[in-house]
Structure 1
Amino acid sequence: MRHLRRVLVATGAVLAVATTPVAAAPAPTPTTAPPASAADAAVEPGTIVQEGGPLTVPSGEEGPVTTRLTVTLPPGVTGPLRGTRLAFKAETRRPEARPGLRFSSTCAVNGGAFAPCAWTSPDPETVQETWLVLDLPGAEVPAGSSTVTYDITVDVPSGMEWLDALSATLELADTTGVVARGDVGLRIVPGTPEAWKRSSLHARDRAGVLWQYDATGRDDTLLAPRKRVGGGWNVYTAITKLDRTTAANNTGDLVARDRDGVLWYYQGGLRDDAPFEARVRIGGGWNAYTRIVGLPGGDLVARDRDGVLWWYEGSGTARWKFAPRVRIGGGWNAYTNIVSFGEGLVAHTATGRQWRYEKSDDWDPSVPFKPRREVGGGWNGYTALAGMGLVVQDPSLAARTTDGKLFVYGVDRWGENSDPYRPRPAGWGWNIYDLLV
């Protein structure tokens, strides 16, 4: 034990301090802590778990897919839970897009009946990001339980795969504040385009029978088994579509020129048993042209024997289908083949070089196309070409090889910097046909 050997000075006096041992001070007696404040007593929010992780949503005709959110609440939370919003932000920006308007969903709470729940997208003129907002309904907490479930269906039409991965944080609250929190994700992937979007390819055999092949929208089997349109089509020396015929209801028109130079109009029949209505005579003199090509929307271009290309604007009536022709320009005899592709044309030379003519942004019938740009070579290895609409990608081009194999070429992006063609095999034995359209 240490001894004190100090002198303390107090009020000017010197005090002698005894040198007896000093005992250690006893430890302080614990006391009860004061009650916590309401903020200190706040309960950590519960969890929201998306079963199976982000939901994969096909963009196409597959229909709705379902995800389940399981909400686990902290002890003592009895609800009800207020409805809230799931706000997804797309990483890809398209200023003109309001994608939420094309989504549809239904929601069910705690295993109950499904009811519509609405998607919205803010006006892109007022919101910089591309948002998709899903409004969820409120929920009652089952008696004696701490768990709530949400089942949500999501249905997306084709053409929305550009959204890719979407994520959002969902917070559910009661009257005291947020009581559960968790992440929710969607992954929008390419699906099967709807039948009304998918194109058809027509082929005429040497007996004069016209056959229809509908695009399936699938990579593994591009074209469905053929359907017979009818006989007698070998009376025509040229056949071209004025719009894309589709797999859904036989929309799309075509025109055909007979050996006397008369042009006939066939309107889409809108039913399987009659793909086209009875023909209507347009007029004579069409033997002046060596190539006739229809374009989406009902217009037509025709090349005369001097290599001049002419534009015929569709007038919108069957009997008088075209307005008076307008001269586009000369030099088109440089091409051995010209077909529709997208909203424009592709043309290739005898050496196999192919050129693409895309539709002009300005509406001038005398200058309907942008300056041509070269696509590539080797196209003289094909004996027939036919422009199509959407098969797997839009636009597409069907091409038959000398040994009768069929390939469908599409581009992954359309525009000035589009990717090279992506060929897909579509079958064999196509040498039985003398015309593809």
Structure 2
Amino acid sequence: MRNTRTFLVAASVLLAALIPPGAGGAQALAAPLTAPTPGPAAAAPEPGTVVQRDGTVVVPAGEEGPVTSYLLATLPAGATGQVSARIDWANLEWWNSERPGWLSYLTWSCSVNGGPFTPCPLNGPHDGEHPYTQLPTTTAAPTLTYAVRVDAATYGSVGVPTWGTVSVTAAGEKLAEGPVEFQFVDGTPEAYRRTVLHARDRSGVLWQYEGTGKEDAPFKPRTRVGGGWGVYTALTKLGPSTADGGGDLVARDGAGTLWYYSGSGDPAAPYWPRVRVGGGWNAFTSLTGTPRGLLARDRSGVLWHYVRSHQAPPAAPFKAPVRVGGGWNAYTAMTALGDGLVARDTSGVLWLYRQGNPRDPAVPLAPRVRVGGGWNVYSGLVGTGELGRLGPPDLVARDRDGILWTYEGTYYAPPGPNRKRVGWGWNIYDALL
């Protein structure tokens, strides 16, 4: 990124030098060499006022980190002693002493006159009153600078301005007052909330596409996980992986041995070294990982459920298999979608199986629901986590031309019918997971 910026700046300066001053447009490419004529000096704040420097502060809710707003209080002449200050939030109300959910995702800290930041959480009011933030106490001076820092997690966004009034008092007397406003907007979800798509190329290298949280451009540029993955005839995740290096997968090699890869928590190296689970897995023609375990289809079309034991070691991750039922050879592709599964039959019809009885391993899936026909145009289907923000899992599909499409997930219905094109050239991969 730094090299790109250097190139762009150098190119802009060169182009500006080549265009005569009278040609127009040069100043849009490079800053003018002469300083602009200064305007009139800004008027000093009136005594008894509080001014929010730079106006409304925009706070992205996500992994961007905290944002600080500076409040300049100008006290009347002769003000002495200890002064206190608080922000009364006008458009936030807690009824029945219950915090609105999004407020619990905001973390506040404050300082005064360059001092250390200390927590200054929102204080709960009585029924129907507004919450307030208590700012640090200090000694009176002609001017006081309060810094209010807020960090908003992914759910800490309401999309509307949040405003209030800053009041500075001493001995019960109001010395200064002024408005304050924050705008909480959608940011980039934290890494543990963003999904990851993996793809294996034909040389056996596994690549990672980290989610962005933006549905129209859902993936960052790929990063290399490692080579040697071409030895596996089946790869499947046990639930969606996340951009913080979370999520496990299992892989079957050509000899029928199943291997377990635990998530490392390191996005740069997302898996710990593999652990051997056992042999004999060539008896299955399909392996589909879910958050609850592994669904394995044998050669006669019977589906078996290997329930995952989270307390067990990676070498023995599953309980004894439980028979789900027969007839599963009707499907040419299966992939987990959230706690359920989608399956494409030989005629190209896609079916959705929602989660079944979580207490009965023999009924992991509910009766199927028809999604629609025409799904034979795809050479790859994979369910992911949410590719946007805080929604249900999505479905990714690669067509035979190598174009990648996404289908937005829904909570109460099959995947949405309107697909979005999000990439091309994906035919270089022989496995998506």
TM-score bracket, shorter-length normalisation: 0.7 to 0.9
**Which residue of 327, 334, 341 corresponds with 1:345?**
341
More helix by share: 2
Amino acid in the other structure paired with 2:65 = G
Amino acid in the other structure paired with 2:133 = L
Asked whether the 8 Å contact 2:102–2:155 carries over to 1, the reply is: no
For residue 82 of structure 1, report the CA deviation from its aligned partner. 2.0
SS at match of 1:287: helix
Amino acid in the other structure paired with 1:405 = I
* Structure 2 residue aligned with 1:257: 252
The reply on whether 1:292 has 2:287 as its aligned counterpart is yes
SS at match of 1:213: strand
**Which residue of 146, 157, 167 corresponds with 2:153?**
157
* Structure 1 residue aligned with 2:105: 102
Bigger CA drift: 332-341 or 366-375?
366-375
* Structure 2 residue aligned with 1:368: 364
SS at match of 1:208: coil
**What is the correspondence of 1:190-269 to structure 2 with a 5 Å cutoff?**
190-218=186-214, 221-248=217-244, 250-269=245-264
Amino acid in the other structure paired with 2:163 = S
The reply on whether 1:312 has 2:306 as its aligned counterpart is yes
**Which residue of 111, 115, 118 corresponds with 2:117?**
115
Amino acid in the other structure paired with 2:293 = D
SS at match of 2:203: coil
Q: Deviations over 1:265-312 (max 9, x none)?
A: 22234556754333322223333333211123x611223345443321
Q: Deviations over 1:70-126 (max 9, x none)?
A: 445567655643243544766899x7965444322332324x23412332576xxx9
Asked whether the 8 Å contact 1:312–1:322 carries over to 2, the reply is: yes
Aligned partners of 2:187, 2:66: CA distance in 1, in Å? 12
Amino acid in the other structure paired with 2:134 = D
Greater Rg over alpha carbons, structure: 1
Aligned partners of 2:109, 2:180: CA distance in 1, in Å? 16
Residues 415, 216 of structure 1: alpha-carbon distance in 2 compared, 3 angstrom cutoff: closer
Number of equivalenced pairs: 381
Aligned partners of 1:91, 1:163: CA distance in 2, in Å? 16
The reply on whether 1:433 has 2:420 as its aligned counterpart is no
Aligned partners of 2:78, 2:52: CA distance in 1, in Å? 23
Unaligned runs of 5+ in 1: 1-44
The reply on whether 1:416 has 2:412 as its aligned counterpart is yes
Asked whether the 8 Å contact 2:407–2:418 carries over to 1, the reply is: yes
* Structure 1 residue aligned with 2:135: 136
Amino acid in the other structure paired with 2:394 = S
Asked whether the 8 Å contact 1:198–1:389 carries over to 2, the reply is: yes
Residues 334, 92 of structure 1: alpha-carbon distance in 2 compared, 3 angstrom cutoff: farther
Asked whether the 8 Å contact 1:98–1:121 carries over to 2, the reply is: no
Amino acid in the other structure paired with 2:71 = L
* Structure 2 residue aligned with 1:10: none
Q: Deviations over 1:183-202 (max 9, x none)?
A: 43332222112234333222
For residue 155 of structure 1, report the CA deviation from its aligned partner. 1.1
Asked whether the 8 Å contact 1:100–1:119 carries over to 2, the reply is: no
Unaligned runs of 5+ in 2: 1-46
Asked whether the 8 Å contact 2:94–2:128 carries over to 1, the reply is: no
SS at match of 2:363: coil
Q: Deviations over 1:308-365 (max 9, x none)?
A: 4332111231111100122334454444322122233233344544444444585333
Asked whether the 8 Å contact 1:98–1:130 carries over to 2, the reply is: no
Amino acid in the other structure paired with 2:63 = E
Q: Deviations over 1:174-228 (max 9, x none)?
A: 3234444444333222211223433322222223332222234456753333333
SS at match of 2:84: coil
For residue 398 of structure 1, report the CA deviation from its aligned partner. 2.4
Asked whether the 8 Å contact 2:216–2:420 carries over to 1, the reply is: no
Amino acid in the other structure paired with 2:140 = V
Aligned partners of 2:423, 2:282: CA distance in 1, in Å? 34
